[in-house]
Structure 1
Amino acid sequence: MKKLKRYLGVLGMLGVLTLVLTACGGRKSLSQQDVLTNDRTSNTITWGVKADTKLFGLMDVQDNTIKGFDADVATAITKQILGKNGKTKFVQVTSQTRIPLLKNGNIDAIIATMTISPERKKQVDFSDSYFDAGQALLVKKGSAVKSVKDLNKAGTKVLGVTGSSSVANIRKFAPKAKVLELSDYAQAMTALKSGQGVALTTDNGILYGMATENPGYEVVGGTFTKEPYGIAINKGQAPFKNKVNAALKEIEANGTYNRLLKKWFGNVTGFNYKEASR
């Protein structure tokens, strides 16, 4: 009798295991699920944002929250899509990690100073542009470097961030320069201060943010590329992408966008926030 009970118990366990495996096999992976449906169910949109980029996304150590233009735009879009009680969740990303996190389904969208480019469009879809940036140079005040042309000399070292389009651009505009790639902007700024390079290059909005924190440094030479920022979304998520674009249009129409742009860039010396507006 005991053997029979043990046998029936084993059969029961096998049956439950079979049901679990069957259910798992039939369920779509997180990256394949409909983002808009999931977000409406949870009343939350999860955004990948920078946490080391002043003006766009910077961690405030006082309250442990990420603050900046990108974060505020993400919040405004969330309210448009989910309603006034919609919630935003921010996940810290870098130029290297943002696309893998999106492709894996860890985040719903990237809003992190990400330039729309043909190469990136092979991996992700983009919303309409929400900020028009341009690549520039940050140098120590009094530097002989005044424009990108001054970098095109053998042995000249320029600093950039791995995974950003600025690295490829500087190799195009100053092919003789040597590019030292760092993992994030904080490390790149430290490298510039320690003399590991004569200039740090990335988008002008980011550089102006660095200059406000480091008074001994300045942005020079104007912009030498056009870098339209877009919100990156996984391929196959057309309903969510359409909602994001509609939300962008709405916050532009109702004045929210310009209010946020002025909030973060209106008082930044040397930066024409109107040129970056949509």
Structure 2
Amino acid sequence: MKKLFRLVSVIVSSLALLLVLTACGSKPLADQNVVTRAKQSNTITWGVKADTKLFGLMDVKNSQIKGFEVDMAKALTKQILGPKGKADFVQVTSSTRMPLLKNGNIDAIMATMTITPERLKQVDFSRSYFDAGQSLLVKNGSPIKNVKDLNKNGATVLGVVGSNSVQNVAKFAPKAKVLQLSDYAQAMTALKSGQGEALTTDNGILAGMSVENPGYHLAGGAFTKEPYGIAINKNQPEFKHDLNHALTKVEQSGQYNRILKKWFGNVPGLNYKEMER
């Protein structure tokens, strides 16, 4: 009887444990504790751009995404999970990054995403890791010298769906027409084909586009402040703390400045020293 009682106890305990594990597993991915899951898999999954030179661009030679944000994500991953921690990358655009995060397909967005009050209603952000400012990219010889020139003759300005840049243009140049494209590659093609007189987004992104497309330059300097933050789902306070702590460590070690110099040190007209931390 004692043996039977012990056997029944073991079975009951096992069933109880199974029910607990099943209940945890039934939680939607976006609601699960990211830090716990990351430590179990030794992996953090990041949503990054693959069409934005200097920040995140697909290398067609080896099908790897490379850029400032990719290197930063790798550095932060190792700070959080240790030297053997693995950073996985999922390609996102300005319009797909939020749904992918909300569905739990990625743990964090590090994709030139500006911290705004509207976005803070939907997600949480780390502190800023890159202090950008919105600017304009125009063809050499263009009469557009600053954002106010877009008001003249109802110039058409090109932007990207899901970016807050288009809304900002409406504030500074309300008479300008706006054409939104799905990504920066299409926006640049539209600028080259004359579908618009200027392309607008953050200066760091435009710097990469100017390097990649000789004959185009940044005009008028930055007319807004656009601090980039790492977006995560709500109710992840432990993950937010770990990200901010890791960012501080990367900055204090000098690694941040080394990564910054690697990607922005040779961009004409951009003083990367002003961005150092």
Deviation at 1:27, TM superposition (A): 2.1
The aligned residue for residue 10 of structure 2 is: none
Runs of 5+ consecutive residues of structure 1 not aligned to the other structure: 1-18
CA–CA separation in structure 1 for the residues paired with 2:34 and 2:101: 11
Deviation at 1:276, TM superposition (A): 2.6
TM-score by length of 2: 0.91
CA–CA separation in structure 1 for the residues paired with 2:240 and 2:25: 26
Deviation at 1:219, TM superposition (A): 0.6
The aligned residue for residue 198 of structure 1 is: 197
Aligned letter for 2:46? W
Aligned letter for 2:111? A
CA–CA separation in structure 1 for the residues paired with 2:25 and 2:236: 20
CA–CA separation in structure 1 for the residues paired with 2:239 and 2:29: 15
CA–CA separation in structure 2 for the residues paired with 1:249 and 1:218: 33
CA offsets 1:98-130 (integer angstroms, 9 cap, x no match): 011001100000000000000000000000100
Show the 5 A alignment for 1:170-209.
Answer: 170-209=169-208
CA–CA separation in structure 2 for the residues paired with 1:122 and 1:48: 19
Q: CA RMSD in A?
A: 1.5
Aligned letter for 1:93? V
The aligned residue for residue 33 of structure 1 is: 32
The aligned residue for residue 90 of structure 1 is: 89
CA offsets 1:188-214 (integer angstroms, 9 cap, x no match): 000000000000000000001000011
TM-score by length of 1: 0.91
The aligned residue for residue 112 of structure 1 is: 111
Aligned letter for 1:159? L
Tell me, what secondary structure is at the counterpart of 1:251? helix
Question: How many pairs are equivalent?
Answer: 259
CA–CA separation in structure 1 for the residues paired with 2:75 and 2:197: 39
Runs of 5+ consecutive residues of structure 2 not aligned to the other structure: 1-17
CA–CA separation in structure 2 for the residues paired with 1:173 and 1:243: 37
Deviation at 1:24, TM superposition (A): 6.4
Show the 5 A alignment for 1:231-246.
Answer: 231-246=230-245
The aligned residue for residue 227 of structure 1 is: 226
Aligned letter for 1:139? V
The aligned residue for residue 3 of structure 2 is: none
The aligned residue for residue 14 of structure 1 is: none
Aligned letter for 2:106? I
Among the aligned pairs, what percent are the same residue? 71
Tell me, what secondary structure is at the counterpart of 2:158? strand
Tell me, what secondary structure is at the counterpart of 1:88? strand
CA–CA separation in structure 2 for the residues paired with 1:166 and 1:211: 18
CA–CA separation in structure 1 for the residues paired with 2:272 and 2:87: 26
The aligned residue for residue 123 of structure 2 is: 124
Aligned letter for 1:202? T
The aligned residue for residue 274 of structure 2 is: 275
